Chains A and B, each alone.
Chain A
Amino acid sequence: MENQPLIEQQKVIRQPKTHFKWGKNIALYVMLIPGIVLTLIFSYLPMGGLVIAFQDYKPWLGMLKSNWVQWDHFAMMFLRDDSVQIIWNTLIISSAKLTAGLIIPIVFSLLLNEVRQLFFKKTVQTLVYLPHFLSWVILGGILTDLLSSSGLINSWVEKLNHGKPILFLADGDWFRIIVVISDIWKEFGFATIVFLAALAGVNPSLYEAAEVDGAGRWKQTLNITLPAIAPIIVVVGTLSLGNILNAGFDQIFNLYNPLVYSKGDIIDTFVYRTGIISGGFSFATAVGMFKSVIGFILIALAYWSSGKFANYRIF
């Protein structure tokens, strides 16, 4: 698309001059009905259900008759030790994931971009994209098998660690490390796609000019490649900030156990356990709403600023 001549692009954006008429166009609105209804029911109705965060919701009384408690659940959230802890856990785990999840794909795409044999490059891409498509159920099963105290990894560790296994999934600190590493392992390949596309778009004549001036490959990378992909790095980094409270429910849920709740429990898993397992609907909704609201503000800010500073739009 970026290679199209300017005139072509203008043709696409051209606005027709005639005025809006119903007639045939009613069909367009009819088409939207299924999507509108489904979104209303499954996305907007639950937003209305957030009122129970301000109630002492009892399923047998319903939303209309349950007692109102104003901000009690939110106050409780900052007073209860466990809920304060899960907010910290979420922030620690997800900020480690976001940082490493930005830097590692950039470094990897720079390294992969050096490869000149197309077949080799394609093969590497095929292999590193694959884990993205496997679910955390599958990977959780594999990891718990590999990392258990009697698993394959520990059979190697024992040789180095005087016969003692490392409790990767039963020790809080190790659990966090494993969560971050396994998330990076699963997603770094897929995250390179957007950087590789940006690298392919760098103007080759810049490199040729640098070549003539006697710059080596390292200098070229520092002074041409990195500045060229800086805007996309900023966009990806900013947008990922919107996910700071998403520490990865699927992953944690499939890896954790009560031994690591103190360091590995996150907002989403906490909401699931206090809400659906223990029936504390209102408190769990309040914690979930806290996450949704903060997430919304961050995402809105991220889209706004990447639109303003890097000219990025999703539609």
Chain B
Amino acid sequence: MSNISNKPHANWFNRRGWRDIIIVAPYAWLIAFFVIPFIIVIVMSFAKTATESPPFAFLPEWPYIRFETYIRLFSDSLYIRSTFISLYNAAIATLLCLLIGYPMALGITRVNKSAQRLLLMLIILPFWTSFLLRVYAWIGLMGKNSWFNQLLTVIYNAVVPSSWEVTGFQLMNTNFAVVLVMVYSYLPFMILPLYANLEKLDMTLNEAAMDLGSRPWQVFKDVTLPLSIPGIIAGGLLVFIPASGELIIPSLVGSAADPMIGRVIQQEFGSNRDWPMASTVAVALLLLLVVPLVLYNHFEARAGKAGGT
């Protein structure tokens, strides 16, 4: 206590007012823009649809609420299927992001500081153009007559026997397209936390492992990989969570027959005007995503304890 108050710089923060404002501000934000709206969503999920505006109403007598939408969530295969497709696509995209992003992040840590800054700039550079624009660019790339599709076709035809040859790939409106564009869009969210983690690792640990007889691959397996697990988890969740709720990518390049859950929510709110059902799906999605988050925090706390040095 006494040595904190001795530091003049720490004093302004210790005056009650400032400290309280700084602590309260993020909570106020969270309550105003997340907790209250979400409570409204939860309440709506127990209502029924109505023709007037807003298009939902509560039952006129006790118990005023109904659970019909929750029953429908499990009885109508659309919701379960779209949930599975969402989780599946998100999982594949996360795995691919990890496989592509890990070597990139590791590579960035192994060059000099100014090259590191340049490479990180390049990683962040796509954010300077509109996300929608980039997805539309992919639509152009994936069309049957695009050079990208033609290139894939030529490579494919060169490898397979002539009876398997194709004139072009159906890329648009497939799950493949969704995963491809999601990997492209979310790759920076994998690379940046991985880089932050790998950059902190003490290179003398690698030297120590090498000194004790480990070849470079073993050094990676025994030292770098286990110590980067917190970065893998952080990057994985930053990709997986938004990917599983993704709306724009599946809407623009995905297949209508295999909808992802974000698209289902949008349809229920929009064209179906079934706000209670949309709310129910949203609640279900949030629960699905909160579970990994809680797991993440658990891992973080454990990693914080283990990597105390």
A and B pair up: no
- Residues of chain B touching chain A, judged by Cβ–Cβ distance below 8 Å, are none
